[in-house]
Every structure is written in C-alpha cells, then in structure tokens.
C-alpha cells in the first residue's frame, strides 16, 4: 500500500507541475520543450533531496525517479505517434506578428508584454517592425523572425553566380598534439609539418591550433602573453 502511494504521488505532482508551467507561459522555457523543462526540475529536485537526506526512506525517491522516467519514455513514444498528444505535451508555435499586425491576444496567451516582444525583435536585429513579415514564438520559448522580401539577406542564388564546393578545414595540430590521421588525409607527413613550423619559427609546443584551409593555406595560432579586456 505504501509503494502504491509512492507511485501515485509523483504522477500527481507531474500533472500539477505541467498545469503550472502551462499557466506560466513559454518564457520560463528556454531551448527545452515544456515537458523536458518539467522533468528536468522535478527529477533534479528529487535527486538533490536524496543526496541531502531529505527523505526518511531512500526507497521513496528512488521509486519516484523511476516512475518519472517510465512516464517520460511512455509519453515520448506516444507523442511520436500522435500529433494531438504531441501538441498537448509540447504545445504549438504561436504567431505573434504578421502582415504589419500585432496579435495582442496571442501575446497575452504567451504571457508576453509589448515591451518584451519589441526587445526580442531588437535582439534579433530588427528595430523597425515594418521590416518583418512574421514573428513566431516557438514551443521552446525562442522567437523566429521572417523578414519581408526587400529586407532579406541576399543569397548566392539571388546573385546568379556559381561557387565551388567548400570543404571543412583539416586540423593538423591542437594544443601541441599532432593529428597524424589528418596529415595522411592531406597527403603530408610529420617531416613536412615540422618544416612548415620551422619556416614560421614556431615550436610545436607553442602551437594552440593549426589547420589547413580548403584552398591549402595553413593557419597557425600560437601561445601569446597578450591580455585583452573587453570594455
């Protein structure tokens, strides 16, 4: 009977936390969906209480965490197969601004005021709302901005030019350690690498980072004692 109580209590608390977080809005959730947020703070709280000896019976927090884990796995699988359940758990994106119109009701539902909305626009680099076509509040609490056509950055297709495919730089040395496999990829060996360092007058132990760019140029960053303070 006591074990049943241990199982029921975390389920009830999970439901209550879910409702409270829904009422609080998405602002408390950053880079996590709402359910991940709830699970994180709940399981973290149980674990901390367990470590600090907040429970008389160690079995109670252990069962509670197991129950939470089972519920999480079950709901994750259910949400993956049901669009309605996924919307219930993760919520859905909300359009806050579109076609030169601010949707006040959606701002209120998301527990956002106009000043905070304008602040998010400025952070994204939009000081004039007339530059924006649509602003969306995502389910993880972040904002997505879709500018009007004349304010969108130009891309290669707009310029009608052809560019060559660019490869990632190949790291050859990191913090004084040579990456021999990467040397083989570019068709060179350690002797060639030592010659390149000698030409530059940099000992291997002083190399923080060295890589070969796509155009075969070498970039070398070495240890220095320069101090730089951001004022």
pLDDT of residue 28: 47
Q: Residue 165 domain-assigned?
A: no
Looking at the fold, whether 118 and 131 belong to one and the same domain comes out as yes
Looking at the fold, whether 61 and 102 belong to one and the same domain comes out as no
Report the alpha-carbon distance of residue 156 to residue 159 in Å, rounded: 5
pTM of the model: 0.55
Encode pLDDT of 186-217 as tens digits: 899 999 999 999 999 999 999 999 999 876 78
Looking at the fold, whether 81 and 132 belong to one and the same domain comes out as no
Report the alpha-carbon distance of residue 65 to residue 132 in Å, rounded: 45
User: Quick check: 168 pLDDT over 90?
Assistant: no
Q: Residue 108 domain-assigned?
A: yes
Report the alpha-carbon distance of residue 27 to residue 116 in Å, rounded: 10
Q: Residue 186 domain-assigned?
A: yes
Q: Where are the beta strands (DSSP E) in the chain?
A: 94-98, 101-102, 132-137, 143-147, 170-174, 177-178, 207-212, 218-222
Q: Considering its fold, how many domains does the chain have in total? A: 3
pLDDT grade for 3, boundaries at 50, 70 and 90: confident
Which CATH number characterizes residue 193's domain?
3.30.240.20
Encode pLDDT of 44-103 as tens digits: 676 666 555 555 666 776 677 677 767 777 777 787 787 787 777 677 889 999 999 999
Residue-range definition of the domain harbouring residue 217: 170-222
Looking at the fold, whether 84 and 113 belong to one and the same domain comes out as no
Looking at the fold, whether 139 and 73 belong to one and the same domain comes out as no
- Among residues 227, 220, 216, the alpha carbon closest in space to that of 200 is found at 220
Tell me whether strands 132-137 and 94-98 are parallel, antiparallel or unpaired.
antiparallel
Looking at the fold, whether 146 and 201 belong to one and the same domain comes out as no
Q: Residue 31 domain-assigned?
A: yes
Q: Residue 163 domain-assigned?
A: no
User: Which residue, of 90, 111, 132, is where some domain finishes?
Assistant: 90
């Amino acid at each position: 009977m006591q074990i049943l109580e241990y199982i029921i209590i975390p389920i009830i608390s999970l439901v209550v936390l879910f409702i409270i977080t829904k009422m609080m809005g998405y602002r408390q959730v950053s880079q996590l969906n709402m359910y991940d947020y709830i699970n994180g703070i709940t399981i973290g709280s149980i674990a901390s209480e367990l470590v600090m000896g907040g429970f008389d019976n160690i079995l109670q927090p252990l069962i509670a965490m197991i129950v939470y884990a089972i519920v999480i796995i079950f709901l994750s699988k259910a949400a993956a197969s049901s669009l309605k359940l996924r919307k219930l758990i993760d919520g859905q994106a909300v359009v806050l601004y579109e076609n030169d119109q601010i949707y006040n009701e959606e701002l209120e539902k998301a527990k956002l005021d106009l000043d905070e909305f304008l602040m998010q626009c400025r952070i994204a680099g939009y000081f004039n709302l007339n530059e924006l076509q649509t602003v969306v509040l995502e389910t993880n609490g972040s904002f997505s901005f879709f500018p009007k056509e004349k304010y969108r950055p130009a891309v290669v297709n707009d310029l009608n030019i052809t560019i060559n495919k660019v490869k990632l730089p190949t790291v050859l040395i990191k913090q004084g350690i040579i990456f021999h496999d990467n040397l083989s990829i570019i068709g060179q060996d350690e002797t060639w690498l030592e010659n390149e360092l000698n030409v530059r007058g940099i000992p291997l132990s002083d190399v923080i980072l060295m890589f070969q760019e796509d155009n075969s140029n070498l970039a070398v960053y070495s240890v220095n004692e320069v101090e730089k303070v951001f004022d």
